[in-house]
Amino acid sequence: MLPDFVISETDCLHKIDPDAVLTREVWLIVHSEIKNVPSVRVVSDALRQIFVDRRVR
């Protein structure tokens, strides 16, 4: 899969399904010894929320 702008720059590529939905699995890895450090927890919670919010769209 390529971004739309790549298709517009060449004649040999064509959009095959404009309604196709892409999914992906994202993992957040944190060492067990620091997973509860407040600053690490704030960042990991914020990242998790960003992905949850984007999934709802």
In a domain, 42, yes or no: yes
DSSP line for the chain: ---HHHHHT-SS---S-TT------------TTTTTSHHHHHHHHHHHHHHHHHHH-
**pLDDT at residue 57 greater than cutoff 60:** no
Residue of 6 and 57 predicted with greater confidence: 6
In a domain, 7, yes or no: no
pTM (predicted TM-score):
0.57
- The string of pLDDT tens digits covering residues 4-42 is 777 777 778 877 777 777 777 889 999 999 999 999 999
Q: How many domains are contained in the chain? A: 1
pLDDT band at 49, cuts 50/70/90? very high
> What pLDDT, on the 0 to 100 scale, is given for residue 31?
96
**pLDDT at residue 43 greater than cutoff 80:** yes
Q: Which domain holds residue 48?
A: 24-57
